[in-house]
Structure 1
Amino acid sequence: MGEELVYEVGIGLLPGIGNYLTRTLISYCGSAKQVWHSPPGKIEKIPGIGPTALNSLKHGKSVLKQAEIILAQAQKEEVQLLFYTHKNYPDRLKQIADAPTLLYYKGNCRLNQRKIVSIVGTRKCTPYGKEITEQIVKDLTKHQALIVSGLAYGIDIAAHRAATQYNLPTVGVMANGLDTIYPAVHRKIAEKMLDNGGLLSENTFGTKPDAHFFPARNRIIAGMADVTIIVESAIKGGTLITADIAHSYNKDIMAVPGAITSPVSAGCNYLIKSLKAAVYTELKDLEELLNWDLENGNSSTSKHDLHKYQAEDFTPEEFKIIRVLQEIKEEQIDTLSWKTQIPINQISSLLLGLEFKGVVKALPGKKFSLI
C-alpha cells in the first residue's frame, strides 16, 4: 500500500470535506497528495471550497497518522482499500453523485462483473418470500450474475444463502466496519461468501452498525447494480428507501407482487402500482427489461446503445467521456471531470473535439449528452 493511499484515506477523515468535495478537489489538483500540498491560494479558488474545508486542509495533517493506522489494520485484516480512482472500484457506483470515495472490501470476486443484481426485502419475510428469493437466484445462474444484498435478516440473507448454494458470487454491503460481522448470527454465511464474493463497506474499522448508517449503506446496494429486485417489503421501511434511492439514480427497479392482504407485500404492490418498479414474475421479465435477451442477437436497440461507439475510434480520454454519457443521459462538465478523472482544464477541449466529430452535443447549464 503506497504513499498516495495514505493521502486518499486521510482526505476522507477531514471534517467538512465529504465525498463530492473530495472528487472536486482531486479533479482540480490531480491527486489526493497534490490536494494536501497545493497552496491555500489555489485551493480556495476551487468551486465549493469554503472556510471550513480550507481550514481542515491547512491544519489536518495529523489525520495522516490515523490513515497509516487504518492502512496497517487493513493489511492485517486482508481488506482492500478501494479509492474511487482505483481500477477495482465499482464502475456503476462511480457514476452516482454521492458515491463513497473510499470502500473497504474483503473478498475475491470482481466488483465490475458484466451483470450485477441487487436483491433486498423485509427482515420479516414469509416462507413465500424466501422461496421466491431462492428461485430468482437459481434462475440467475444462467447469467452468472453477481448477487448484492445487505447481509440483514430476512430476504437479504436468503439471497446470500441461495447464491452460495448455487455457486454465484455474492457481496454483502455492510453498515459497519469490516472488523465485525453484523448481525453476528450471520458470521458463518459471511465467511462462506468470502470464497466466492465478499464483504463491502464505506465505514472504517471500529464503526458500529448505528441506525443512521443503514440508509447510506442502501445507496451502495442500489448504485452498484444493474437492477434492484424488491421481493417483500412493508409500505414503510428501509427497503422502500432503497427503492427510492435506486429510482433517484435512474436505476431499474423490479418488485415481486404479493397478496393484497399481506403487510409485507404492501410495499412491492405500491411500487408496481405507482410505476416505480417493473413486475418480476419470472426471469424473462428481467431479461426483457435489461435487454439481456438481445445480447446474443444483432439488435442495435440495446438500452444504452453500448456498441455504437468503438474504443479504437477514439483516444482513451474521449472514450472515457463516451462511456460515462452512455450510462447517464446527460451530465454537467464538472461532474464529467471527476467521473472520468480528466482534469477540468482538459475536458473542455476534449468535449469540443467530440462535438466536431458529431458524437456529443452541448446543452444548457454546461451539460453534455451523446447525439
Structure 2
Amino acid sequence: MTKNIDFKINEFKDLNKYPKELFYRGNIELLKKQKVSIVGTRKPISYTKNLTYTISSLLSSRDICIVSGGAMGVDAIAHQGAKPNNTICVLANGLNIRYPKVNKNLLESIESQGLLLSSYKDDTLATRYSFVLRNELVVALSDILIIMQADENSGSIRSLEYALKMNKKIYTIAHRMEDNKGLIPYIKKGLIEVIYDVNEFVNSIKDKDEIIENDEILDYLKTNPTYEDAISKYQDKIFEYELNSIFKVENGICKVIY
C-alpha cells in the first residue's frame, strides 16, 4: 500500500524545490543508511553490465544502500546487485504502476523487501518531466554518484548536471572512449573521477559517522585551512575525507559540510 512520507527527508533539503508530496512503499528505514547512487545508459555493453553488478554488490555487502531509478539497463542491474532488501528505487510514476513492465518482478521485490519512492500519487503516468525530477531525487539521496556509462545528451548527463550543482562526488568506470562519449568532456575537465580499481574504490568509502568520531582531522578542517595546507599536513587522509563529502573546497579553502 502506498503511504505518504510526513517528514522532511534531510537529503532533499538543498533541492531548488522540495517535492510537494512524497510517497513510499516498503522499508522507510533504508533512508537512514549510507547511500550511493548508481545510474547509466539503458543499453549498457557487457563490460558495463558486469561492473555495475560487481560494484553494486560489493557496496551493498558493506551495508551501503544502492539508489537508482528502476529503468532498464544500468538502473535495474544496480538494484539487482544490491539485492532487493538494500536498495532504494525512485520512480517517475505512481507506485502502483509497474513501469517499465520488463522490470515488474524486480520492482515488486523491491517493494516487499526494499524501498520504492515517488513524488507522484498512485495512477500517475510517467512523463518526460517526471523522469527529469526522478533523476534529481536519485542524485540528491546520496553523497556519491556513479555514472556507469552515458550517451551524449542522455538522462545520465542531466543527472551529472544535478550532481555538480549539489557538490556531489561523481565517478565513472574506465571505458574505451567510444563507449562513454557522454562523459569524456567532463572527465577531461576533472569533474568526474575514473574508477580504475573497483576494490580500492569500494574500500575507500566509509560511513561518515565512523570518520568523524573523536576526529582531530575534522577539528582541523573546521578551522578552514587552505586545501594545500591540509594536503601537506594530512596527505591521503584529506582525499578520503573529500571523497566522503566531509568537506568541500571553495576558492582554495576547506569548508566542512557534514
Q: Same fold (TM over 0.5)?
A: yes
Cα 1:283–1:236 change in 2 (3 A) is: farther
AA of the residue aligned to 1:284: E
Matches within 5 A, 1:179-328: 179-262=96-179, 265-281=180-196, 282-285=198-201, 288=204, 295=211, 299-302=215-218
How many pairs are equivalent? 227
Q: Using the alignment, how far apart are the partners of 1:101 and 1:304 within structure 2?
A: 39
Kindly state the Cα deviation for residue 223 of structure 1 after the two structures are TM-superposed: 0.5
Pick which of 240-249 and 189-198 moved more: 189-198
Q: Using the alignment, how far apart are the partners of 1:194 and 1:117 within structure 2?
A: 19
Kindly state the Cα deviation for residue 199 of structure 1 after the two structures are TM-superposed: 1.1
Kindly state the Cα deviation for residue 272 of structure 1 after the two structures are TM-superposed: 1.8
Partner of 2:29, secondary structure, is coil
Q: Using the alignment, how far apart are the partners of 2:219 and 2:132 within structure 1?
A: 29
Pick which of 252-261 and 213-222 moved more: 252-261
Partner of 1:267, secondary structure, is coil
Q: Using the alignment, how far apart are the partners of 1:179 and 1:305 within structure 2?
A: 46
Cα 1:328–1:95 change in 2 (3 A) is: farther
Partner of 1:218, secondary structure, is helix
State whether residues 14 and 166 of structure 2, in contact with CA within 8 Å, keep that contact through their aligned partners in structure 1: no
State whether residues 290 and 303 of structure 1, in contact with CA within 8 Å, keep that contact through their aligned partners in structure 2: no
Cα 1:302–1:124 change in 2 (3 A) is: farther
Matches within 5 A, 1:64-213: 78-83=1-6, 86=7, 89-164=8-83, 169-213=86-130
Kindly state the Cα deviation for residue 285 of structure 1 after the two structures are TM-superposed: 2.9
Q: Using the alignment, how far apart are the partners of 1:186 and 1:291 within structure 2?
A: 31
Write out per-residue CA displacement over residues 321-342 of structure 1, whole angstroms, 9 at most, x where no aligned residue. xxxxx9898xxxxxxxxxxxxx
Cα 1:268–1:285 change in 2 (3 A) is: farther
Write out per-residue CA displacement over residues 209-244 of structure 1, whole angstroms, 9 at most, x where no aligned residue. 111211111110000112110001012210010010
Kindly state the Cα deviation for residue 195 of structure 1 after the two structures are TM-superposed: 3.2
Unaligned 5+ runs, structure 2: 223-244, 249-255
Cα 1:225–1:137 change in 2 (3 A) is: same
Pick which of 100-109 and 267-276 moved more: 267-276
AA of the residue aligned to 1:157: A
Unaligned 5+ runs, structure 1: 1-77, 307-325, 330-368
Percent of residue pairs bearing the same amino acid type: 27
State whether residues 148 and 172 of structure 2, in contact with CA within 8 Å, keep that contact through their aligned partners in structure 1: yes
Q: Using the alignment, how far apart are the partners of 2:26 and 2:163 within structure 1?
A: 25
Kindly state the Cα deviation for residue 302 of structure 1 after the two structures are TM-superposed: 4.9
Cα 1:305–1:104 change in 2 (3 A) is: farther
Write out per-residue CA displacement over residues 11-61 of structure 1, whole angstroms, 9 at most, x where no aligned residue. xxxxxxxxxxxxxxxxxxxxxxxxxxxxxxxxxxxxxxxxxxxxxxxxxxx
State whether residues 139 and 162 of structure 2, in contact with CA within 8 Å, keep that contact through their aligned partners in structure 1: yes
Q: Using the alignment, how far apart are the partners of 1:298 and 1:150 within structure 2?
A: 36
Kindly state the Cα deviation for residue 162 of structure 1 after the two structures are TM-superposed: 1.2
Partner of 1:275, secondary structure, is coil
Which has the higher relative contact order, 1 or 2, with Cα contacts under 8 A spaced 6 or more apart?
Answer: 2
Q: What TM-score does the superposition give when structure 2 sets the normalisation length?
A: 0.77
Kindly state the Cα deviation for residue 121 of structure 1 after the two structures are TM-superposed: 0.1
Q: What TM-score does the superposition give when structure 1 sets the normalisation length?
A: 0.55
Q: Using the alignment, how far apart are the partners of 2:104 and 2:221 within structure 1?
A: 42
Pick which of 153-162 and 270-279 moved more: 270-279
Indicate the RMSD between aligned Cα atoms, in angstroms: 3.0
